[in-house]
Every structure is written in C-alpha cells, then in structure tokens.
Amino acid sequence: MPGYDQLRTLNINGGSWVIANTLTNTGVLNVAASRVLNYSLAQALSGTVSNAGILTGTLTSFTGPSFTNNGSVTLTNLPFAGSTAQTLNGTGSITTLRINNANGVTLGGDQTVTNALTLTNGKVTLGSSNLFLSNSALASLVGGNATNHFITNGTGSFQRMVATGAAYPFPITNGSSYMPATLTLTSGPSERFAAGANGCT
C-alpha cells in the first residue's frame, strides 16, 4: 500500500495490508479479526488503535490516547510513548511491550506479553486486569524500580513465568508505597506466579 495521511478512520476489514511508505496517522485505525496490517517501513502512530487481527512490522512510537488489542501484536516493539496518560485495553497478546510515558499507562483488560517487557519510564496501573509475561527468561523484564513499576490497586496482578535458579523481580506497588517482591524457584519446571500489593500497608 502506498503512503497516505490517515486523519479520520481506516477500517481494515479484508485481506492483508502492507504499509511501505511514511504516513501521518492521527485518526482511528481498526483492524478486523483475521486481518493483517504490516508496517514494513517504521512508523509512528498518534491516533486511536483497535486491533482484533494481527498487527506486525515496526513502530517507532505510539502516542495515541488508547490502544485496544483483542488480537495479536507481533510488532518488533509496541512502544507506549505518550505525553499524557494512555490506556491499553482488550484481551490479546503482544510480542514486545515498552512503557515510556511519565504520565503512565492504564490496563483495561488482560494482556499477555510473549517476549519482552520494558519499563523505561512511567507506571502501569492494573486495576482489575492482569499483565502476564509468558517468557520465563529472567531478562525478559527490563527495568522496574520505585519510579517505574506496576500499580496493583485492584484485583489485577503482574504475572510472569519463573524458572529455577534465579531471583525474579516483581516491581509492584499498592499505589502509594513501593513494595517490590522477589521470587526464587528452587526446583521443578517453570511455573506461573502472580504478585499484587492491593491491601498491603
């Protein structure tokens, strides 16, 4: 597909689309179930995204207000980099997720990150939703400290696969106090663990 300026709404309801030219993307992007949108040339998105299909290729940044993922995001990286608070809604999978927003990102549905999760700047508020890092490699979580972490202020939790032999960090807070946890599995196969600090003082 040639370059275009997406100022209103683009609905991808059929086939597989490839965007190979620079575009201005400030409108609404909807990718229907079983449809594929491939950014073969690196792009920046600043509109609202709703994905029920497959979103692949390369994004340099996502600065729009909300990204709804009920499909699969296999981008080399999904970088939340807004200058105001953003939301990640839906229930789907994301290969690589980076949080780089000082105003934070709020989760509005359960999401699974399959490869790597990076906390560069800002907090992720989980509420009643779960964020699951399914890669059991210790290095699959990058970052996490008193400034950049997961706010577990409801029934939701930060979850990750844990393998034996290493101390796995869970950088969590109850919204007011930083309460990081570390878990070491001494034997057996990799297992899924969850951590939350809601109600802790």
Q: What pLDDT, in 10s, does the model give residues 37-56?
A: 999 999 999 999 999 999 99
List Cβ neighbours of 190 (8 Å cut-off, separation of 6 or more).
136, 161, 162, 163, 164
Per-residue pLDDT reduced to its tens digit, 125-172: 999 999 999 999 999 999 999 999 999 999 999 999 999 999 999 999
Cα(87)–Cα(152) distance, integer angstroms = 15
Cα(47)–Cα(41) distance, integer angstroms = 18
Mean pLDDT computed over every residue of the chain: 94
% of the chain with per-residue pLDDT over 90: 86
Yes or no: say if 23 and 42 are a contact pair by the CB < 8 Å rule: no
**In whole angstroms, how far apart are CA 149 and each of 86, 152, 158, 186, 190?**
15, 10, 10, 26, 23
Instruction: Please state the pTM of the whole predicted model.
Output: 0.94
pLDDT band at 200, cuts 50/70/90?
Answer: confident
**In whole angstroms, how far apart are CA 172 and each of 17, 115, 131?**
39, 20, 12
The arithmetic mean of pLDDT across residues 110-120, rounded, is 98
The arithmetic mean of pLDDT across residues 47-70, rounded, is 97
- Given this model, what pLDDT does residue 25 score? 77
Yes or no: say if 194 and 168 are a contact pair by the CB < 8 Å rule: no
H or E element at residue 181: strand 181-184
Identify the DSSP state of 135.
-
List Cβ neighbours of 176 (8 Å cut-off, separation of 6 or more).
none
